[in-house]
Amino acid sequence: MRSIIAPAAAIAILAAPAAAQSLEDVAAGSYSLDNNHAFLTWTVVHNGLSDYTVNFTDFDANLDFNPEDPASSSIEVTIDPMEVETNYPGDYKAGHPDSGFESWNEALAKDDRFLNGDEYGEIKFVSTGAETTGDTTGTVTGDLTFLGVTKPVTMDVTYNGVTNYPWYDGRDTIGFTATTTISRSEFGQESLAGMISDEVMIEFSGEFLQDQ
């Protein structure tokens, strides 16, 4: 019979403990976003026909987390508007012969009708307060700066659990999901009104690793 040797990575995955959900299992302290396990999207309604979703591919976050008093926790998030993925399969240049951009990703990132990343090179969220709404749910309110405008935004947050991957020397890894909806016109973006919804739904899911 042929022997089967499991790859080391598979063994490591099997050795990882399952996530526990209780906040009592979490160490208080500073956490950094695990960029390999983090996802941030925004969605608008296109012509009333479909939900059009775009991924941000370059963002970071730092979290100060207090499991005994989650409402005292804080987070700061920075996003590079130049790094987006639209999964646009068409021939952009053929469909937009007058555009000065080489791709739809570039147009969305740089065009002053959209993210205008050349002028505003960073999107930022800095929390100003938090509330608990359940054992593993809460809200985080903060200042969102987008297109040079800063407005308060409240996110609905769910704590998903904690685990200790053996390759991180026993440090905690905690997971969260968060959602909010903003009005893009409140930040000065009113382009293609009627074709693109004013409401923008933002969704995040990610893991944070306890700092050493």
Helices assigned H by DSSP within 74-176: 92-95, 104-110
pLDDT band at 10 (very low <50, low <70, confident <90, very high): very low
Q: Mean pLDDT of all residues in the chain?
A: 92
| 73 is a domain residue | yes
CA distance 27 to 170: 11
197: domain CATH number is 2.40.128.110
| 2 is a domain residue | no
| 21 is a domain residue | no
Residue 54: closest CA among 100, 77, 88, 101: 88
Q: What is the pLDDT of residue 16?
A: 63
Percent above pLDDT 70 for the chain = 92
> What phi, psi does 201 have (nearest 5°)?
-95, 130
Q: Lowest mean pLDDT: which of 14-23, 37-46, 122-131, 138-147?
A: 14-23
Q: What is the pLDDT of residue 23?
A: 86
Q: Lowest mean pLDDT: which of 5-14, 31-40, 86-95, 134-143?
A: 5-14
Could you report the per-residue pLDDT of 79-132, keeping only the tens digit for each?
A: 999 999 999 999 999 999 999 999 999 999 999 999 999 999 999 999 999 999
What are the distances in angstroms from CA 122 to CA 5, 43, 97? Answer: 47, 19, 29
Torsion of CA 30, 33, 34, 39, to 10 degrees: 150
> What phi, psi does 189 have (nearest 5°)?
-105, 110
DSSP E strand boundaries for 5-148? 29-46, 50-56, 59-65, 74-79, 84-85, 123-132, 137-146
Could you report the per-residue pLDDT of 190-209, keeping only the tens digit for each?
A: 999 999 999 999 999 999 99
Cβ(170)–Cβ(164) below 8 Å: yes
Domain count, the chain: 1
| 25 is a domain residue | no
| 7 is a domain residue | no
Cβ(203)–Cβ(37) below 8 Å: no
Is the pLDDT at 55 greater than 60? The verdict is: yes
| 4 is a domain residue | no
| 18 is a domain residue | no
Is the pLDDT at 22 greater than 70? The verdict is: yes
Residue 109: closest CA among 38, 43, 185, 54: 54
Residue 190 structural domain: 34-210
Q: Residue 186 corresponds to which tokens in the numbers above?
A: 């409140």
Is the pLDDT at 7 greater than 60? The verdict is: no
Could you report the per-residue pLDDT of 151-189, keeping only the tens digit for each?
A: 999 999 999 999 999 999 989 999 999 999 999 999 999
| 44 is a domain residue | yes
Cβ burial of 164 (10 Å; 0-12, 13-18, 19+) is middle
Is the pLDDT at 137 greater than 50? The verdict is: yes
CA atoms within 13 A on the CB side of 201: 11
CA distance 50 to 56: 19
